Structure 1
Amino acid sequence: MSVQPRSEVPLSRPTAEASDARLLTEAVTRLRRALRASIRTDYPWETLPMAQVELLQVLGEYSPARISDLATRQRLAPSTVSGLIGQMITAGLVAREVDRADRRASVVTLTDAGREQLAAWTAAHERRMDTALAALDDSARAAIAGALPAFFQLAERLGKLEDGSASG
């Protein structure tokens, strides 16, 4: 039996050596890596580190936000998020303001430049993904579309497991 190179191994057929969990983990890792690489290759103007892009995405949904809340949501150390936010403030993507609910605390909000950067990044990513999806055959596109609800359920379940709030 010949062994296929890793890039050619079909991810949809688990073997005795590879469980569904392992194959899914590998597929998600490869997809994430390919997305990161393609955005940098196809859109060289995009230079933001992924950690900053992910913070922009969170702030796009939950702004204003305290650094401690961002750290919890992203499962990062508050000092890490604080450092990233400092870089983003310097770049003009976010601003620090006094928390109106607690004047002793501060919150972070997207600036207009941050919103524009996030919108441009999202549009470029969606164009790249649309192009890749269009290159697949109808059955592959249908399989991906059909699996999306399950991926969201899996992500929610994994989040609950990580939070320690999952039950039986």
Structure 2
Amino acid sequence: MAEVTRVPLQPIAKGSLTKLWLGVLVAILIGGGLAWATIPRGLTVTELTEGSGPSPAETDVVLVNYVGKLPNGTVFDEGQQIPLPLENMIEGFREGAVQMKKGGKYELYIPSAKGYGAEEKINPQTGEVAIPANSDLVFEVELLEFMSREDYEMRMQMMQQMMQQQMQGAEGAGAPPQ
């Protein structure tokens, strides 16, 4: 009968098992830390449709189509061809808008710290909470046009003058002859 070669098992050195478990624990902690580090915490701008040309400045007025949602998909605001002075917008929207190009469509993920933070936003029409405190925000934005604040104000004044002239003309046309 053939004899099987025997390999004697060496005893584990004192403390080796502890070192092994410590090594496993360190590997788990490092993996968890890397996973935690990859979670987006800042503003995220995702280009859905490419735009072209220059980007607006933080002091410009942008003309946009947009939908504002909570991360669960609840729509809290939307608008078509809305002029928005970037100086008056929340920090995250302003930072995202200056990365856009005319004609492009974008999704902005805005963490609560760059949105409304601990402030709760109430819908003025319903009186209900539209945006809970500490909510992250998601905006789908199409940048139609942008202009300087001065150009915007000049265009608004011209439009007001035209509307006043039209109203005066309509009043004059409806007045009885004397």
Q: Give the TM interval when normalised to the shorter protein.
A: under 0.3
Question: Which is greater in Rg?
Answer: 2
User: Per residue, is there more strand in 1 or in 2?
Assistant: 2
**Higher relative contact order structure (alpha carbons within 8 Å, sequence separation ≥ 6):** 2
TM-score (norm 1): 0.21
TM-score (norm 2): 0.20
